[in-house]
Amino acid sequence: MQAEEFLQFLHHFANHTKPSLEMKILLLLDNHVSHLSVPAMDFCRERGIVLLTFPPHCTHKLCPLDRTVFRSFKGRVNTHLDTWMKAHPGKNATIYDLPGIVAKVLPQATTPENIMSGFSCTGIWPYSPDVFGENDFAPAYATDRPEPTTLTSSADSSTLHQGSSSLHQGSTTLHQGSTTLHQGSSSLHQGSTTLHQGSSSLHQGSTKLHQGSSSLHQGSTTLHQGSSSLHQGSTTLHQGSTTLHQGSSSLHQGSTTLHQGSSSLHQGSTTLH
């Protein structure tokens, strides 16, 4: 039930009971939050409906529906469910089977006799303030406790001694707790110091690692440059070897030409002679 649905019920209730400001009608209900909305209260005030709620945790005794209608309805539903289970062995009743059962038992539970009996057994109408006995309200009473008796002087002395012993034990326990707390504080300080030293060592190691990485990068660069220079020297040496080979060939050709010239000179000298 929501506040909007309860307001719709109030309209339905007013249309059938015809309340007015001159002939007001009393409506009894529980303290559910849906019954206490401002629109519902304003509507009841304007139409002459007086709302009266039951005391908390008393609806099982004071609510007419709970006493007769709902109790009869639940009992009849259980009876029909037992009959259904016997007629359908091995099956479980589902929510789809309930509407058919409710359609049969609801008219049997909401008879005028049951409704009027609910108002009668709760003492609402006819009004009967003595319908409940003292035992019906016993759970609502606070449990009575006996008043403490006066202690004798001996009992007082014993109690005082026990209290003093308990106080001494409490003081000793407090001192031990203080000592343990101090030791824990010292351990925490040492742990903090060790953590700081570890952090410093980690920072130094990181710095050295960075320096080593830089040196490695520089060495790699120098090695690359040396390799390039070596490659250039090898190329120059190859070019010089080629040039030397070409010069040797030219020298050989010049020697051959000189030999040929000498032979020609010798032949010319022989011819002249």
More confident residue, 59 or 96: 96
Q: What is the pLDDT of residue 87?
A: 93
Q: What is the pLDDT of residue 45?
A: 97
Which residues have CB under 8 Å from 41's CB, separation 6+? 51
Q: What is the pLDDT of residue 80?
A: 94
State the pLDDT confidence band at 79, using cuts at 50, 70 and 90. Answer: very high
Tokens linked to 235: 């190329």
Q: What is the pLDDT of residue 236?
A: 80
Q: What is the pLDDT of residue 55?
A: 86
**Tally: H helices and E strands in the chain:** 8, 2
Q: Indicate if the pLDDT at residue 148 is higher than 80.
A: no
Q: Indicate if the pLDDT at residue 19 is higher than 80.
A: yes
Tell me which residue has tokens 């609510």.
Answer: 63
Q: What percent of the chain has pLDDT over 90?
A: 42
pTM over 0.85: no
Torsion of CA 211, 212, 214, 215, to 10 degrees: 120
Q: What is the pLDDT of residue 151?
A: 46
Which residues have CB under 8 Å from 75's CB, separation 6+? none
- Any idea which of 36-45, 92-101, 153-162, 220-229 has the lowest mean pLDDT? 153-162
Q: What is the pLDDT of residue 69?
A: 95
Q: What is the pLDDT of residue 197?
A: 82
Q: What is the pLDDT of residue 58?
A: 82
- Any idea which of 93-107, 126-140, 150-164, 170-184 has the lowest mean pLDDT? 150-164
Beta carbons of 14 and 40 less than 8 angstroms apart: no
Q: What is the pLDDT of residue 119?
A: 95
